[in-house]
Amino acid sequence: MTELGDIFEPGSPHGRTYAVLVHHPRSGLADIARYLDVSPEEAAATLEILCAMQAAVRLEDSEGEPIWDAHAPESLSEAEARRRQHEINQMHAAAARLSETFRSVRRSPRGNGSMVPVFERLEMLADFEEMQNSARHSVKIIERGPYLSDIERENQQYLLKRARIGEGIRYQTLYQDTIYQDAERLRHALSTNASGAQARTLPEPPFKLIIVDDERANLVLHADERRPDPMGLRFTASPALRLLVRTFDVLWSLAAPISVNPSADELDDRDKAILTLMGLGATDDTIARRLGMSRRTVVRRTARLLERLGASTRFQAGVQATRRGWL
């Protein structure tokens, strides 16, 4: 493939043609072919490439015949210098990323242990992606700040999650309540929910975590690469992994479903009374008698309240209603 730098090589066909245009500006095809000692067809092909590279320009003379001229050499050399510098910068950036992985792979113990430390941020992010890619049926995530990834990596994670949901993987993501002040993450959460994922919130999730198929987990300990201790831990089949799975399930049961506007939910007085009595352990019959309602109405309203709160038990409904400020 011809590059812009080739026109400064006097021995190359494109370099010779460009030199002719510099020495003989606004020349016609026959003259250019004669200067180059090539056929008009060969000269035309080379001129077409130079024009595509914006090293030359095709014009017309006073009689409407095509002629060619060269662009200024200094502008072309500056453009080529910028291109090469950009390639060098990309090479250095790629080398820096690979160097981090190179170091982390050699620092992290590799073996069959049930718990392995991870020292580097990029290795943690690579683990998150690999685990989601390899999931067979479920992914459970606890997400809270400080975050490990930048905006570009966040978008990649979002696209990966959407793709895996489309392949039938069940996602449960537990966010910190601060997601409501983070427009981009909230948009991602609502979008993946629309695709079939589930998302809930808690005021202060205790840690960042990903669990795949209840068989592997990564726990993030901190997000500061300057600290000498591990940034996270990998878990495989072990009592510690079972504890993490159980902890996630309990936190999930206590969390509130994510919504577009969590402050917009309101209850009427009867629903508040039903929730209060439910929290005291009252049965449907007792609630109906106390509030002067039919048992059928109480059952219907109770089912609706459980659905709105994303709760499977009356206890969960009471906890989540309190969190939302409904009681």
Share of the chain above pLDDT 90, in %: 17
The answer on pLDDT for 227 being more than 80 is: no
pLDDT of residue 63: 86
Stretch 129-137: mean pLDDT? 91
- What CA–CA distance (Å, rounded) separates 128 from 219? 10
Which residues share a beta bridge with 56?
70
- What CA–CA distance (Å, rounded) separates 112 from 95? 30
Give the phi and the psi of residue 217 in degrees, each rounded to 5: -150, 150
269-306 as b/e, with b when 16 or more CB fall inside 10 Å? Answer: eebebbbebbbeebebeebbeebebeeeebeebbeebb
The answer on pLDDT for 46 being more than 60 is: yes
pLDDT of residue 323: 65
pLDDT 10s digits, 84-104 = 777 777 777 776 666 665 555
pLDDT of residue 170: 94
The crossing angle, in degrees rounded to 10, of helices 29-36 and 40-52 is 100
The confidence band for 64, taking pLDDT boundaries of 50, 70 and 90, is confident
- What CA–CA distance (Å, rounded) separates 281 from 98? 59
pLDDT higher at 130 or 229: 130
pLDDT of residue 136: 93
The answer on pLDDT for 258 being more than 50 is: yes
For residue 194, give the H/E element and its range.
Answer: helix 183-194
Stretch 99-120: mean pLDDT? 62
- What CA–CA distance (Å, rounded) separates 116 from 119? 10
pLDDT of residue 103: 56
Q: Is 65 left (phi over 0), alpha (psi -120 to 50) or beta?
A: beta
Burial of 251 (0-12, 13-18, 19+ CB in 10 A): middle
Q: What is the mean pLDDT of the chain?
A: 81
CB-CB contact of 177 with 201 (8 Å): yes
3-state secondary structure (DSSP) of residue 11: coil
pLDDT 10s digits, 178-210 = 887 777 888 888 888 888 888 888 888 888 999
- What CA–CA distance (Å, rounded) separates 282 from 293? 14
- What CA–CA distance (Å, rounded) separates 104 from 202? 33
